Amino acid sequence: MPKSRQSQETVLLLNVDSHRAIWNLPAGTVEEIGARFPRIKVLKTSEKTPLRAAIAQADILYTWHLPREVFPLAKRLQWVHTPAAGVDHLLYPTFVQSDVLLTNSRGLAGDAMADHAFSLILALARRLPDAVRFQVQHRWGQEVLWTTPPPPVALQGKVLGIVGLGGVGAHLAARARAFGMTVVATRWSSTKKPASVAKVYPPGELSELLAESDFVALCPPLTAQTRGMIGRKELRRMKKSAFLVNVGRGELVQDAAIIAALREGWIGGAALDVFAREPLPRNSVFWNLPRLLITPHYAGTYPEHVTRATALFLENLKWFLAGKTKRLKNLVDKGRGY
């Protein structure tokens, strides 16, 4: 058993409670763990036993969050698993520099996020936000849609540039190809190119992808290399008719740059599911920007997510307790950030 003293009971702390039912542990999880792993002690956070009060006992933590001010209390901690795919909120220096293992649930929201991203692409292509506004106003807006830019377009033959060809990007590429789009992408790894992608650019050639694309979808993890990667220079490189879609992290895009691009018409429009500050304040300038479609950070949401993430965690728990940490799925390279 990794690092644990044989005489010391292994403690698993479950910190997955949420005021949103969709993000809670599946019913019966604690009982299932007790039946499958009878030699470990299971603790569960609650209002009476918050994370700060329980973390000192934990060898293993299953959690959405581990605040940096709480981490120094985790003297016994060996492994953290999160139901989320993104781990940027966990990668503060003290955690990165520690020996604590980190696994995530990447890959489980790929289909949902790709569905959401492609629905945003369709909405922008067909000017659905304008049509919805006309409906609310009880207004027949056909003439406006025909005579004002950007015109509604067909996706057949258009180029989709995917920044970050991981699980989400690969699912999105398959959907785009089914609609007759040409897909180009950037990717940090050297894995084999999917059949649905016409060309893969290295990260250093992002400029070429931006210039070629009619739609640009941002899907990479947030790391030191990707933070702020879309700024004024990159948006100016895009076609004046092109659209930007971000389902990754808000910090991938520089706020001042996208605000200027939409106000001044550098690009055709944008759809943003994520923002650097969330929830988006009621007085944010983003609400009133032209040619912008906003969704409130739910691209990866679907009812079965936590159930699937918990199944992944329990499979990893089996290997961890057996001392086979090299078999852990979705082990995060904390230095690289994914």
Establish whether 297 is a catalytic residue: yes
The one catalytic residue in 9, 69, 278, 304 is 278
The one catalytic residue in 116, 127, 175, 249 is 249
Establish whether 47 is a catalytic residue: no
5: CB partners within 8 A, 6+ apart: none
The one catalytic residue in 76, 89, 263, 297 is 297
- Residue 124 host element (H or E): helix 110-125
**Distance between CA atoms of residues 317 and 12, nearest Å:** 10
> Given the DSSP bridges, would you call strands 60-63 and 11-15 parallel, antiparallel or unpaired?
parallel
Beta-carbon neighbour count of residue 185 at 10 Å? 27
- Residue 255 host element (H or E): helix 255-264
Establish whether 249 is a catalytic residue: yes
130: CB partners within 8 A, 6+ apart: 141, 144, 145
**Distance between CA atoms of residues 30 and 37, nearest Å:** 10
Answer for the pair 282, 89: CB distance below 8 angstroms, yes or no: no
Question: 252 phi and psi, to 5 degrees?
Answer: -65, -30
Which of the residues are catalytic?
249, 278, 297
